[in-house]
Amino acid sequence: MKIIILGAGQVGSSVAANLVSEANDITVIDTNPDCLQYLSERHDLRTIVGVASHPSVLANAGAKDADMIIAVTNSDETNMIACQVAYTLFHTPTKIARVRNNEYLKHPALFAQEALPIDVLISPEQVVTEYIERLISFPGALQVLDFANDMAQMVAVSAHYYGPLAGKLVCDICSKLPEIEIRIVAIFRAGRSIIPDGNTEIEPNDEVFFIGAPKHIRTLLKTIRSTEKAAKRIIIAGGGNIGMRLAQLLEDRYQVKLIELNSHRAQEVSELLKKTIVIQGDVADEELLLEENIENTDVFCALTNADVANIISSMLAKRLGARKVMALINRAAFVDLVQSNVIDIAISPQQATIGSLLAHIRKGDVVVVHSLRRGAAEAIEAIAHGDSTSSKVVGRKIDEIKLPPDTSIGAIVRGEEVIIAHHDTVIEADDHVILLVADKKQVHEVEKLFQVGITFL
């Protein structure tokens, strides 16, 4: 696929790095040659210096036969104009743009096809904020992924040494909880992934992925995390875009404090928030944290722009007695370094956002993609089309489907109903099938599986 990425900032670069490994032809445009040089030295892609919305620059980047443009420059205006230019002059089929300012987002009519021709609006900050919000409302989960308009959820739970999961067989866990319908789709153990069957034993420190309807997931988490209370007091470190949005989202339900170093920004944030207590100070200041009752805090979220500050302040908060600490970490290498070791949950913003883009890049009718384990694995929701003659999945029992290795079907959403996949479940047309692909190399096989044969046409 030929993709043009506008903007080589954090989102642009990580998207480029992610997509280039999948045999896509990537061209990145930015006004800053230094950012571009960094990218072109590390990845096999083309870079062009210029203003991303200028037709001549886009033409240079090969917009004429591009399949997709992803506009993620810092400026909403540039992103919107670039999509307009790509649509009018180059007829680019898919146009994805990041628009952050609520002034624009408030008016959906702006983004209708006859107005601003943007096919998909993404807002990475919002995605990350919602991601963190879910983590807070599901205590005990390492990751919460939504499928089929929130009708099904996948959660990752780590198996603690003396916890209820470690040392059990997969079939025992399911039979111990007969009233809820859930399934274990994958286990990640020491960097490797395992597609479990009934006789797989869960070991301590495994990351276990469950799938099910949200109410069942909630019960499940309550059972296996009976000791963990729901969060009440939350401290957010860093009043940037994500920190402030998160505070807005949480302040009605929780007691939220927000710490911001920059006094200007702190003032601004305090004006925008209603109930949150905004504190001006250093997020890694021990005295300040103690003063704000860190030992009675349920969740400490470090969301500043600096990875190191986030890691250090969360370590400090943990040491001072915060029950659970989360840190926003951009660098993938740092995530592995601290996850479930010194920090309870390391949040990788790239991983949270890349999924929403991948869904548009995947062939076949793939509606949702969540990237897992630094992009090594993927959870995919695909719609099965056609009938038993044209489709490789419709009308077949699950154990009749030729799934590629390291892949399992977790659940099926049919209409309003979530069906946990068993070996004899038959897939019908228009089912939403939720799969876990533990090895990204198999994704193309999965795509092929859900593409409808010629006979359908």
3-state SS string over the chain? Answer: CEEEEECCCHHHHHHHHHHHCCCCEEEEEECCHHHHHHHHHHCCCEEEECCCCCHHHHHHCCHHHCCEEEECCCCHHHHHHHHHHHHHHHCCCEEEEECCCHHHHCCHHHHCCCCCCCCEEECHHHHHHHHHHHHHHCCCCCEEEEECCCCEEEEEEECCCCCCCCCCEHHHHHHHCCCCCEEEEEEEECCEEECCCCCCECCCCCEEEEEECHHHHHHHHHHHCCCCCCCCEEEEECCCHHHHHHHHHHCCCCEEEEEECCHHHHHHHHHHCCCCEEEECCCCCHHHHHHCCHHHCCEEEECCCCHHHHHHHHHHHHHHCCCEEEEECCCHHHHHHHECCCECEEECHHHHHHHHHHHHHCCCCEEEEEEEHHHCEEEEEEECCCCCCCCCCCCCEHHHCCCCCCEEEEEEEECCEEEECCCCCECCCCCEEEEEECCHHHHHHHHHHHCCCHHHC
CB of 46 to other proteins, least distance (A): 4
Q: Binder to other proteins among 9, 10, 22, 25 (CB under 8 A)?
A: 25
CB of 22 to other proteins, least distance (A): 12
CB of 331 to other proteins, least distance (A): 18
Residue 32 sits in the site that holds other proteins (CB under 8 A): no
CB of 396 to other proteins, least distance (A): 35
Q: Binder to other proteins among 26, 244, 266, 322 (CB under 8 A)?
A: 26
Q: Binder to other proteins among 13, 14, 47, 314 (CB under 8 A)?
A: 47
CB of 372 to other proteins, least distance (A): 23
Structure tokens at 253: 């339900």
CB of 374 to other proteins, least distance (A): 17
Q: Binder to other proteins among 8, 17, 35, 45 (CB under 8 A)?
A: 45
Sign of the Cα torsion 5, 8, 9, 11 reads positive
CB of 40 to other proteins, least distance (A): 6
For other proteins, which stretch binds (CB under 8 A), given 39-47, 80-88, 156-164, 324-332? 39-47
Closer by beta carbon to other proteins, 76 or else 439: 439
Residue 2 sits in the site that holds other proteins (CB under 8 A): yes
Closer by beta carbon to other proteins, 5 or else 413: 5
Residue 42 sits in the site that holds other proteins (CB under 8 A): yes
Residue type for position 246: L
Residue 15 sits in the site that holds other proteins (CB under 8 A): no
Residue 31 sits in the site that holds other proteins (CB under 8 A): no
Residue 391 sits in the site that holds other proteins (CB under 8 A): no
Residue 27 sits in the site that holds other proteins (CB under 8 A): yes
Residue 33 sits in the site that holds other proteins (CB under 8 A): yes
CB of 12 to other proteins, least distance (A): 15
Q: Binder to other proteins among 32, 37, 223, 455 (CB under 8 A)?
A: 37
Q: Number of residues in contact with other proteins, rule: CB under 8 A?
A: 15
Show the site string, 52-81: x = touches other proteins by CB under 8 A, - = not: ----------x-------------------
Residue 13 sits in the site that holds other proteins (CB under 8 A): no
Measured between alpha carbons, how far is 238 from 283 in angstroms, rounded to an integer? 7
Residue 43 sits in the site that holds other proteins (CB under 8 A): yes
Residue 46 sits in the site that holds other proteins (CB under 8 A): yes
Residue 44 sits in the site that holds other proteins (CB under 8 A): yes
The residues binding other proteins (CB under 8 A) are: 2, 25-27, 33, 37, 40-47, 62
